[in-house]
Amino acid sequence: MDNETNTNVPESEPLAETQTEEIPAPEEVAEEEREPIKTVNTFWERLDDVLDHLESQPQQLHPREAFKSALNQPKQLFVCSTQDTTRAINGILTGSPYQKINQTASFFDSFRVSFADRSLLNVKSIQLYSASIPQAQCNISDNEINFWFYELTTLAADSTGAWSSSASYTISEIVEYGGHYYGCYKAVGPSATTPAADTAHWYDAGSVSTQEDTPNWLNLDPTVRKDNLKYFNLVPSFVGPTDYDVVSNFGWNRTFTSYADLLQEVNRAAGYNSLGSGTGIDELYFQFNQEFNKFVVYPQTADTAYYFFPSFSDTVYQQANTAYPLNLNLRLGFTQQNDIPTISSNPWTSSVFSDFEDNLFGQKNIFAGEFLFADSYANLVYTNRCNIFADFCRTSSFDTFTGGELLASVPMNAGNLGITLYQAKFPNRLDQVPPEIYDMFFYFETDNKIPYLFPKSATISLELALEYF
């Protein structure tokens, strides 16, 4: 057409193409290049490729996703012992001869609370924020009511009379021969060899006329010593006085208001067989010296034996006292450092007991004195601390006795029959706790690692502070 205008484009400037060729994505190319999976071997090869690819990628750690709940994440939690109607004894007292009487029926040292539908979720840490703990106990634990001592008789008291060649003798027996006492240190007899000539079985203990008040040291041989270990005891606080007839004669473990108050009950226990359990009855009595503020122990007037207290290392005492090392001796201030020497030679002619003699007391004591002052002051404090354990604490904290689960150690700042009020002064969050908690079990112990017993009328209140992830 004549009027048609044409635009001439130089050959050096070709028109841009109106359509661009579509370039497939690398993944699509790869898919096109792969053959379809037709065999099992091909499947496993492809799977290996995928796993190799995933392993070659950098690993990313995702932080814990925050979980918030108005029902399952309280900042503070109040628990009370009355919420557990099955409060029970978690650790039975072992030192008392009256474990079977009313103990579990009248006391508890643990309780459990359950949260039902309000379980704690995503827990990060827990701390005891406050506590109220009643001190409704006696001054002295029922684990510490036995007073232990050894009775050491004299040569004259133990003498069986003249030696006989037709008799058999055992360790610690005393005979008289040729005007001397002889002590049997190895079983012998019948034998025609006299004690003076038989040094393989007999020790010469000295003249009958001068050594009658000398102790029979062979009674301290470990094989016979247990027969000379004795004790008397206060009646445990959980034994009901209405169960017995002659109540006024017993020495009872109760709340003591003074040393004089305690002295009265101790002397009653020492002079009367408390419910038939004691073996050292009517042998000792006590006084209280107000000038030195200490207890003093005496033998009974008619008793001519020697006495001393067992040491902590004494295995015979350890086996007899199931509450070892706790006892009434320590409560009254009588410490136990009297290690008994090993008899390896004649104890009446050697110096094996020269230092040990200072530990003895008795009416005819030829070494020191008739009486013995307590080494220290009597202790009428039930416990300095109440250690609270909880099963959710795990290894967050522990005590040196048994290990973990220690929630807090609460100083007792109230007197007997008072209430200790505790409040944490600084943050001390225990973070090794389970993330999900459905119930809590608490148990309580004294500073001596014995059950902290509460009467079942008592109420323990604990307030916990919690953090969450």
Residues 368 and 423 in one domain: no
Report the sign of the C-alpha dihedral through residues 320, 326, 332, 337, in that order: positive
Name residue 181's beta-bridge partners: 176, 206
What is the predicted pLDDT for the residue at 271? 85
User: Structural domain tally of the chain?
Assistant: 3
CA-to-CA distance for 229 and 468, rounded, in angstroms?
Answer: 58
Residues 244 and 354 in one domain: yes
The DSSP annotation for 145-171 comes to -EEEEEEE-BHHHHEEEE--TT--B-T
- Which helix (H) or strand (E) is 468 found in, with range? strand 461-468
Omega before residue 10 within 30° of 0, cis: no
The last residue of a domain, from among 183, 207, 231: 207
The last residue of a domain, from among 320, 352, 373: 373
Please, what is the end-to-end C-alpha distance for the chain in angstroms? Answer: 84
CA-to-CA distance for 342 and 354, rounded, in angstroms?
Answer: 13
| Residue 228 structural domain | 146-154+213-373
Residue 414 sits in a domain whose CATH number is: 2.60.120.1100
CA-to-CA distance for 356 and 231, rounded, in angstroms?
Answer: 21
Residues 217 and 365 in one domain: yes
Q: Are 155 and 212 in contact, with CB atoms under 8 Å apart?
A: yes
CA distances from 464 to 78, 86, 259, 456 (A): 6, 22, 39, 23
Residues 386 and 417 in one domain: yes
Omega before residue 451 within 30° of 0, cis: no
CA-to-CA distance for 131 and 150, rounded, in angstroms?
Answer: 44
In a domain? residue 233: yes
CA-to-CA distance for 287 and 231, rounded, in angstroms?
Answer: 18
* List of residues 6+ apart from 124 with CB closer than 8 A: 431, 433, 435, 466, 467, 468, 469
Residues 297 and 333 in one domain: yes
The last residue of a domain, from among 350, 373, 396: 373
What is the predicted pLDDT for the residue at 131? 96
Strands 174-177 and 159-162: parallel
Residues 199 and 302 in one domain: no
What is the predicted pLDDT for the residue at 275? 56
Could you tell me the mean pLDDT of each successive run of 10 residues in the chain, 469 residues long?
A: 45 45 48 64 80 75 61 91 70 42 67 86 94 90 90 93 97 97 96 97 96 93 91 82 60 90 93 65 90 92 81 88 83 85 93 86 72 91 92 84 84 84 91 92 88 87 95
Q: Is 217 helix (H, G, I), strand (E, B) or coil?
A: helix
